[in-house]
Structure 1
Amino acid sequence: MAFLQASVYSNVLEMEVSINFLLPQTTHKKIGTETTGKSEDVPVLYLLHGMGGNHSVWARRTSIERYAAKYQLAVVMPSTDLGFYTDTTYDMNYWTFVAEELPMIVHELFPQITHKREQTFAAGLSMGGYGAMKLGLKKPNDFAAIASLSGALSFDSVEGLLATRKAAYWEGIFGPIGEIKGSKNDPLVMLEELVKSSQPKPRFFLACGTEDFLYPANQYVAKKMQAVLPAVTFEEGPGEHNWVFWDQWIQRALEWMFDENRAKTE
C-alpha cells in the first residue's frame, strides 16, 4: 500500500485542507506483508474522524493500512475540523465539502479510483459515524454501504450535548440547540426522507461498545432503522469510546462491507 499525505485547496471551504490517502500498490517484500495493486476501478472507503481527530488519526491509532490491503481498497481520510460534517451556521460548508467536492477531488487526483456505487463506501467513528451515516442517508445513489462505529447519532438530549461542548458550539454548527432534534440534520429525519424516496437503500452497519456512553442512543437508532430498511446490521461488544474498540471494529466493518454473499442478499 502507498500512504500519501496531501494538502489540497477546497473551493467550497475556501481554504487549504489536509487529506491522507491509502492506495493499493504492488509490493514484493522479503520481510513483511506483500500487497497487490490495481490500476483501475479501485474500490474506495471514505473514512471519517471524530471530534478531536483529523486526517492523520486513523493511520496513527489503528492499523488501517494493513486492514485495507487485504481488500485492495483505497482509503480517503479528510480533515474536517469540528464541523460535524454539516454546512454550519457560521458559513463553513463541511457537508458540501465531504459529500460533493471531496469525491471530485479524489477522482481528479486518482483516476484509478472507482466511480461505481457498489464499490464506494463510507465509515467513521463518533462524529465521523454521524458523517458516514449522513452520507448514506442523504447520498444513497453514491454509496453502497455505510459503517458507523460508536456514532453520535441522536440529538434527543440537550443535556447530553452540553456535557460534550458548550451551547455556542452546537448552535454554531446546527442553529438553536433546542431545535436540532427534528431538523434536517437529525439522522432520524434523514432516515424518514430516505424511506419515503424511491432512491436505492444502502446497507448500514452500526457497532458500539456496551460500556460506551453512546450505547443506548446507538441501540435506539439501530432499532428505528431496522424497522424501515431492508439491510441494517447492529453489533455490539465489550468496549468504551476509545481506539481499542475502534481498531477492532473497523476490521469487522470491512469484513461486513466485502461480504459478497451478504451484499447480494440484502
Structure 2
Amino acid sequence: MAFLSLNYKSKTIGKDQTLSVILPEDDSYFDSKAQPKQLKSLMLLHGLSSDSTSYVRYTSIERYANEHQLAIIMPSADHSFYSNMKYGHSYYDYILEVYDYVHQVLPLSRERKDNFIAGHSMGGYGTMKYALTQGARFAKACSLSAVFKAETFMYINWPDFSPEAIAGTNKQTQGTDLDLYHLVDQAAESKMQLPELLIMCGRTDELFDENVRFIHYLDDKGIDYQFKDEPGNHDYAYWDHAIKQAIEWMVES
C-alpha cells in the first residue's frame, strides 16, 4: 500500500496545492515489462473542519482501500463548499482538475464504471453537486451526513468561514449553482446521466431532517437513490463506519 502526499502547481488555483492519495499496490507495479494495473478510484471530499489528511488520521480508510484494491483521492478545498467562489478560488473547477490530473499521472482506470465520489458534511454537499452535474465521470456517488440546503451553510457560525466569499454579499443561493434543489430540477428536466446515489446519515445527526427532506424531493422528481439511516452522530466515528459500507457498495458488481 502506497500513501502519497502529492504537491503540484494547480493551473486552476494558480498556486501549489497538496492532496493525499492512497494507492493499493499490485505485482504489475514491480515488473517493468508488465502493463500497470489500472485501479478503480474514489474521489473523497472532506468536510468544513477537515482537509486532505483527515480520513487517513480519523478512519481506517487505508485498510478499506487495500482490501478492495481501490485508490482514494483526497484533495483539499478549504471552506469553499466545493464552489467557484465569488471572492476566492474556483474550487468546483479545481476538483475536476484533480480528477483529470491524477488519472493522467497515476495508474487509474478512466472508465466511468470504475470511478466513484463520496464525502461527508460539506463534502457530502460537494458529492451531490458533482453527482448532479458530472454524472458522465462517476458511476456511483455517496453522501454522508450531507448539507443539502445551501441556506444552511449561509448561516453557519464557524471560525474564519465566510459565506459571502462563496455566494456574494447578498448570500443569494436559490436558483443558482449553489442550490442543490435547483440542480436536481435541471438534472430531471434534461434527463441527465446520473451516478447511482447512496445517501447515508446518522439518525441523531443534526442534519438528519435535512437529509429526509432532500430524498423526498428526489422522490418527487423521480430520481432513484438508496437511503441508509443508522444510529450515528455528526462525527468520524459514524463516517468511519459509513465509508466502509459505501466502499463495499461501490466496488460490488
TM-score normalized by the length of structure 2:
0.91
Alignment-derived partner of residue 138 in structure 1: 133
Q: 2:78 aligns with which of 74, 77, 81?
A: 81
Contact in 2 for aligned 1:201/1:229 (Cα 8 Å): no
**What is residue 62 of structure 1 aligned with on the other side?**
59
Gaps of 5+ in 1: 28-37, 261-266
Structure 1 residue 97 displacement after superposition: 0.5
Aligned equivalent of 2:229, options 230, 236, 247: 236
Contact 1:167/1:177, CA 8 A, preserved across alignment? no
- Worse-superposed segment, 167-176 or 85-94: 167-176
Change (3 A) 1:166 1:64: closer
Number of residues of Structure 1 aligned to a counterpart in Structure 2: 246
Output aligned runs, 1:168-187, within 5 Å. 169-187=162-180
Identical residues among aligned pairs (%) = 30
Cα distance in 2, alignment partners of residues 138 and 194 from structure 1: 8
Structure 1 contact 211–238 (Cα < 8 Å) conserved: yes
Q: Which residue of 2 aligns with 1:10?
A: 10
User: Structure 2 matches for 1:119-158, cutoff 5 A?
Assistant: 119-156=114-151
For residues 25 and 168 of structure 1, what CA distance do their matches in structure 2 show? 38
**Following TM superposition, by how much is the alpha carbon of 1:222 offset from its aligned partner in structure 2, in angstroms?**
1.5
Aligned to 1:30: none
Gap change, CA 1:106 and 1:167, over 3 Å in 2:
closer
Give the Cα separation in 2 of the matches to 1:143 and 1:174: 26
Structure 2 CA distance for partners of 1:68 and 1:167, relative to 1, 3 Å: closer
Q: Is the CA contact (8 Å cut-off) linking 1:45 and 1:76 kept in structure 2?
A: yes
Contact 2:150 / 2:178 at 8 angstroms: preserved in 1? no
Partner of 2:30: none
Equivalent AA in structure 2 for residue 87 of structure 1: N
Deviations along 1:193-252, whole A, 9 cap, x unmatched? Answer: 111124322111111111111111011111212343453011111111101100000011
Amino acid of the structure 1 residue aligned with 2:148: L
Output the amino acid matched with 1:226. Answer: D
Alignment of 1:215 onto 2:212: no
- Please report how far the alpha carbon of residue 175 of structure 1 lies from its aligned counterpart in structure 2 after TM superposition: 2.2
Q: 3-state DSSP class of the match of 2:68?
A: coil
Q: 2:140, 2:222 → 1: CA distance?
A: 13
Whether the 8 Å contact between 1:49 and 1:125 is mirrored in structure 2 is yes
Q: CA RMSD in A?
A: 2.0
SS at match of 1:164: coil
- Uncovered stretches (5+) of structure 2, i.e. residues with no partner: 28-34
Question: How far is the alpha carbon of 1:57 from its aligned partner?
Answer: 0.4
Can you list the C-alpha shifts for 1:67-110, whole angstroms capped at 9, x where unaligned?
A: 111221111000111111000011410000112x1122102221
How far the C-alpha of 1:178 sits from its partner, in A, is 4.8
Aligned amino acid, residue 205 of structure 2: D
Q: 1:155 is aligned with what amino acid?
A: A
Contact 1:182 1:189 in 2 (8 A): yes
Given that 2:124 and 2:143 are in contact with CA atoms closer than 8 Å, whether structure 1 keeps it comes out as yes
CA distance in 1, matches of 2:37, 2:181: 37
Q: Which amino acid aligns with 2:197?
A: F
Check 1:166–1:61 CA distance in 2 against 1; reply closer, same or farther (3 A cut): closer
Kindly provide the CA deviation profile for residues 32-84 of structure 1, in whole angstroms up to 9, marking residues without a partner as x. xxxxxx93331110001001111100100000011111221111000111111
Length-normalised TM-score, structure 1: 0.86
